[in-house]
């Protein structure tokens, strides 16, 4: 299991997993993914796994997850689930997703 | 108010909600959207659920239930109370939930900007196509605006969704809170979304509550005006009480026996099949007896009977008629006779009415006896009672059932007319009075037929006796006057003959 690989001496590594629900892939989707990756990097959230689900092609997934609006971003891991609907500025997004504070050596924001 | 249907109305989709299709002249305009609005607890969600359940159950029309207020899981638990097999229908692909509650149990949801709600439209149309739905309910849609502050986005998806459902030929019910003014005006529900508006009310009246339904508009077409009471019960869901006695009902000339030969003779050959008889009398004058004669005669003749009793237990009623010609217990066992014995207070008037109708429909009743209106009257508001009486009469007439209703009298002798009795009297085809009368210093029981619509009748006041075989009608009391006023006096026989001849139908 993955936890066994964690270096006991170092700080425990939290794996971040996100799922982004969109309605049809657009340029906006790509922007959102890049914003999130940059944000994760700046907050030291690695590994960071982002899955994009097009609910137009997979309405059953939207049913299951009760998606009413797009874009909807779920932080699936670490538990518990956190959901963000629509766009937020990076700082607000980081706060909503409960990401760690920015590392001193990187500039804040994305 | 005319009951003639307008041929120019748009095709209607019968909802299957009992009574609603009567007051709306056939149901909701097919392929359009109807807003059902009301306060919290007024029954909007029940209407929305039952609209789909009846569609599947009665018409084999699949449905999609879009829930904005409560998670689908909670709705599944709720519908079980009404006995609708929603999980089974879901498995068969005839019912689908679209859970539009946004949230994830206990998880925080942060709403930012620039979102788009069209995924909702996509999910709904996908579900409609998957199930082949003919009906869609959008329950508590106003919640959308509480969750998403973007008025334009909410308006856009609501308008587009209903337009798309209309285009698909689906008939849609949208429930919106009465106090959800912000949603109604922001979205323009009544201007942009729905041509049809139904209002549900649940208002306190004399320490009880009165539920009513009003069809405010149906795409500019005809429907009945005003508020109609309705009941919600686990057994029958929502049942609306149309409250209109159809006067164009064919009058039947078929006579039926009252169960008492002499009374049949007094009424010129018996009561009429599709008529309502009111038996008025103070306690102990034989009202219940007369009612049971009427019931047993019907049951024994193969005319199923429902006996609704509020005064005595079933055992007391059976004991009272033990030894009579017809065996009540055997008739009950054979299904020809059904007792509905209840405390008046355990149900609202509307629920009583729904229960009586269900029992009568169940056994295909030809006769219904209710004993007594007076004990029922005490259990609720006067207006609701009047509506009960009207609703029951309307139902009996509609089904061509012969009804016999008893009503008490507070004073033991004489006549006393109250508003509620007047109301019921006007609805009755035949009125039979039972009274105590003082005759030469003795108290006797007497019977008179006061009114008998559609036939001549014996106007005499006759003495009755009650013994082990039941009630018997005897000779006229020609020598006593003033029984009706309670101030009796005896006449010499010459004068009585003369007076009798003056008014003889002969």
DSSP-assigned letters across all residues of B325-347 = SS-HHHHHHTTSEEEEE--GGGS
Chain A interface, mutation test: which of B119, B128, B143, most A Cβ atoms within 10 Å?
Answer: B119
* A70 DSSP β-pair partners: B116
SS (H, E, C) B27-43: CEECCCEEEEEECCCCC
Tokens of B218: 């149906």
DSSP state of B138: E
Residues in chain A closer than 8 A to B153 (CB atoms): 69
* Backbone region of residue B140 per phi and psi (left: phi > 0; alpha: psi in -120 to 50; beta: other values): left
Check residue A7 and give its pLDDT. 42
Residue A104 pLDDT greater than 70, yes or no: no
Name the helix (H) or strand (E) containing B414.
none
CB contact under 8 Å between B119 and A86, yes or no, is no
Check residue B271 and give its pLDDT. 94
Check residue B190 and give its pLDDT. 78
Sheet holding A72-77, edge to edge: A48-54, A16-22, A72-77, A82-85, B109-111
CB contact under 8 Å between A70 and B100, yes or no, is no
- Round to whole Å and give the CA distance between B369 and B360: 11
Please count the other Cβ atoms lying within 10 Å of the Cβ belonging to residue A8. 6
- Round to whole Å and give the CA distance between B394 and B132: 38
Check residue B181 and give its pLDDT. 83
- Round to whole Å and give the CA distance between B337 and B321: 14
DSSP-assigned letters across all residues of B455-481 = S-----EEEEEEETTEEEEEEE-TTEE
Q: Is B115 on the interface with A (CB under 8 A)?
A: yes
CB contact under 8 Å between B119 and A23, yes or no, is yes
Residues in chain A closer than 8 A to B106 (CB atoms): 80
Check residue B469 and give its pLDDT. 85
The ipTM of this complex is 0.84
Residue B406: closest CA among B442, B382, B432: B432
Tokens 């061509």 belong to B400
Angle at B199 between CA B174 and CA B158, to 5 degrees: 20
In this structure, are strands B109-111 and B135-139 parallel, antiparallel, or unpaired? unpaired
To the nearest whole Å, the CA of B147 is away from the closest chain A CA by 10
Residue-averaged pLDDT of chain A: 83
Residue A110 pLDDT greater than 50, yes or no: no
User: Is the Cα dihedral B55, B171, B33, B28 positive or negative?
Assistant: negative
Helix ranges, B108-202 (H):
118-131, 143-147, 151-167, 181-187
In this structure, are strands B276-281 and B430-439 parallel, antiparallel, or unpaired? parallel
Q: Is B11 on the interface with A (CB under 8 A)?
A: no
Residue B377: closest CA among B341, B429, B421, B342: B421
Residues in chain B closer than 8 A to A78 (CB atoms): none
To the nearest whole Å, the CA of B54 is away from the closest chain A CA by 25
Please count the other Cβ atoms lying within 10 Å of the Cβ belonging to residue B323. 11
Check residue A50 and give its pLDDT. 94
Check residue B411 and give its pLDDT. 53
CB contact under 8 Å between A55 and B122, yes or no, is yes
Q: Is B107 on the interface with A (CB under 8 A)?
A: yes
Chains A, B: CB pairs < 8 Å? 95
Residue-wise pLDDT for B85-137, tens only, equals 999 999 999 999 999 998 766 677 889 999 999 999 999 999 999 999 999 99
For residue B120, the chain A residue with the least C-alpha distance is: A68
CA of residue B325 relative to chain centroid, distance: 34
Residues in chain A closer than 8 A to B100 (CB atoms): 66, 68
- Round to whole Å and give the CA distance between B121 and A70: 12
CB contact under 8 Å between A70 and B115, yes or no, is yes
Q: Is B120 on the interface with A (CB under 8 A)?
A: yes
To the nearest whole Å, the CA of B120 is away from the closest chain A CA by 5
Residues 20-59 of A with CB under 8 A from B: 21, 23, 55-56, 59
- Round to whole Å and give the CA distance between B15 and B272: 34
Say which of B71, B98, B110 has its CB closest to residue A96: B110
CA dihedral B98, B100, B101, B107 (to 10 degrees): 90
Residue-wise pLDDT for B423-440, tens only, equals 777 788 999 999 888 777
- Round to whole Å and give the CA distance between B420 and A8: 87
Residues in chain A closer than 8 A to B111 (CB atoms): 69, 84-86
Q: What are phi and psi of B48, to 5 degrees?
A: -65, -40
DSSP-assigned letters across all residues of B284-299 = TSSHHHHHHHHHHHHH
Per the CB < 8 A criterion, the answer to whether B352 and B342 are in contact is yes
Q: Is B1 on the interface with A (CB under 8 A)?
A: no
CB contact under 8 Å between A63 and B123, yes or no, is yes
For residue A85, the chain B residue with the least C-alpha distance is: B111
Per the CB < 8 A criterion, the answer to whether B261 and B413 are in contact is no
To the nearest whole Å, the CA of B106 is away from the closest chain A CA by 9
pTM: 0.79
DSSP-assigned letters across all residues of B158-182 = HHHHHHHHHHTT-EEEEEEETT-HH
Say which of A62, A63, A86 has its CB closest to residue B114: A86
Per-residue pLDDT tens listing for chain B (506 residues): 344 444 455 789 999 999 999 899 899 999 999 999 999 889 999 999 999 999 999 999 999 999 999 999 999 999 999 999 999 999 999 999 999 998 766 677 889 999 999 999 999 999 999 999 999 999 999 999 988 989 999 999 999 999 999 999 999 999 999 888 888 888 888 778 888 999 999 988 777 788 999 999 888 778 888 899 999 999 889 999 987 766 556 567 899 999 999 999 999 999 999 899 999 988 888 999 999 999 999 999 999 999 999 988 899 989 888 888 889 999 999 999 999 998 998 888 999 999 999 999 999 999 999 998 988 888 888 888 988 998 999 899 889 999 999 998 755 445 554 444 567 777 889 999 998 887 777 888 999 998 898 888 998 899 999 888 889 999 888 766 666 666 666 666 555 555 555 555 43
């Amino acid at each position: 299991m993955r936890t066994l690989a964690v270096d006991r001496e170092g700080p425990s590594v939290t794996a971040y997993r996100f799922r982004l629900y969109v309605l049809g892939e657009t340029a906006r989707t790509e922007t959102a993914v890049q914003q999130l990756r940059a944000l994760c990097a700046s907050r030291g959230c690695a590994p960071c796994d982002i899955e994009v689900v097009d609910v137009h092609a997979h309405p059953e997934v939207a049913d299951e997850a009760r998606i009413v609006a797009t874009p909807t971003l779920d932080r699936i891991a670490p538990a518990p689930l956190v959901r963000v609907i629509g766009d937020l500025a990076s700082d607000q997004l980081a706060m909503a997703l409960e990401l760690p504070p920015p590392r001193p050596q990187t500039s804040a924001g994305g | 108010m005319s009951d003639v249907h307008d041929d120019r109305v748009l095709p209607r989709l019968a909802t299957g909600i009992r009574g609603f299709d009567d007051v709306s002249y056939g149901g909701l305009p097919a392929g359009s959207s109807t807003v059902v609005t009301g306060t919290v607890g007024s029954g909007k969600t029940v209407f929305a659920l039952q609209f789909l359940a009846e569609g599947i159950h009665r018409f084999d029309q699949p449905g999609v239930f879009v829930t904005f207020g409560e998670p689908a899981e909670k709705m599944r638990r709720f519908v079980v109370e009404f006995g609708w097999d929603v999980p089974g229908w879901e498995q068969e692909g005839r019912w689908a939930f679209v859970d539009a509650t946004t949230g994830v149990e206990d998880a925080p949801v942060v709403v930012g900007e620039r979102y788009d709600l069209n995924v909702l439209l996509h999910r709904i149309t996908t579900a409609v196509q998957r199930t082949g739905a003919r009906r869609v309910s959008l329950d508590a849609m106003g919640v959308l605006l509480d969750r998403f502050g973007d008025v334009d986005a909410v308006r856009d998806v609501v308008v587009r969704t209903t337009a798309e459902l209309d285009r698909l030929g689906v008939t849609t019910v949208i429930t919106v809170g009465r106090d959800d003014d912000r949603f109604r005006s922001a979205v323009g529900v009544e201007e942009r979304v729905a041509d049809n508006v139904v209002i549900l009310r649940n208002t306190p009246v004399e320490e009880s509550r009165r539920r009513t339904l009003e069809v405010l508009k149906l795409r500019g077409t005809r429907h009945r005006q005003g508020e109609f009471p309705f009941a919600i019960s686990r057994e029958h869901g929502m049942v609306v009480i149309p409250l209109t006695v159809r006067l164009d009902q064919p009058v039947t000339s078929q006579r039926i026996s009252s169960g008492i030969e002499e009374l049949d003779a007094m009424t010129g050959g018996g009561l009429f099949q599709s008529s309502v008889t009111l038996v008025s009398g103070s306690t102990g004058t034989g009202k219940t007896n007369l009612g049971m004669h009427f019931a047993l005669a019907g049951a024994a003749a193969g005319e199923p009977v429902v006996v609704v009793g509020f005064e005595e237990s079933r055992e007391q009623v059976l004991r009272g008629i033990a030894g009579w010609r017809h065996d009540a217990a055997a008739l009950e066992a054979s299904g020809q006779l059904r007792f509905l014995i209840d405390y008046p207070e355990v149900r609202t008037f509307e629920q009583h009415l729904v229960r009586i109708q269900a029992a009568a429909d169940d056994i295909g009743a030809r006769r219904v006896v209710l004993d007594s209106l007076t004990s029922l009257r005490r259990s609720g508001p006067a207006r609701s009672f009047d509506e009960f009486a009207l609703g029951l009469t309307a139902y009996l007439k509609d089904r061509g059932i012969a009804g016999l209703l008893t009503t008490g009298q507070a004073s033991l002798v004489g006549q006393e007319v109250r508003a509620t009795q007047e109301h019921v009297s006007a609805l009755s085809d035949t009125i039979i009075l039972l009274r105590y009368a003082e005759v030469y210093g003795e108290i006797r029981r007497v019977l008179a037929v006061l009114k008998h619509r559609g036939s001549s009748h014996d106007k005499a006041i006759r003495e009755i006796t009650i013994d082990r075989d039941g009630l018997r009608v005897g000779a006229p009391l020609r020598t006593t006057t003033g029984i009706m006023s309670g101030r009796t006096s005896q006449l010499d026989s010459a004068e009585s003959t003369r007076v009798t001849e003056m008014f003889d139908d002969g």
